[in-house]
Structure 1
Amino acid sequence: MNSTSQERKPPYIMLAILFVGAFVSFLNNSLLNVALPWLI
């Protein structure tokens, strides 16, 4: 085999980043939904 070819690994890091981003987005949406009547 060629030593320069890279081994394919499952994209666990990318999935973790996407899940953390989705969680932060959901948390931001819910907190802003609660705080918005107080701010206006």
Structure 2
Amino acid sequence: MSYIIKFTFKFFEIATYISQLTLDIELVSSELLVILPGFI
């Protein structure tokens, strides 16, 4: 039973990490969209 709990925790860990990563990518890309027109 414990390995199921461990797996679930690991899954949530990975899911949180991925969602954090996509959030960072969205933030960076939106900042780039603001910055880039200034350079062009």
Q: Which runs of 5+ in 2 are unaligned?
A: none
Aligned Cα root-mean-square deviation (Å): 1.4
Percent identity between matched residues is 20
Cα shift at 1:12: 0.7
> What is the TM-score when the length of structure 2 is the normalising length?
0.74
Counting matched residue pairs gives: 35
Q: Which runs of 4+ in 1 moved over 4 A?
A: none
Q: Which runs of 5+ in 1 are unaligned?
A: 1-5
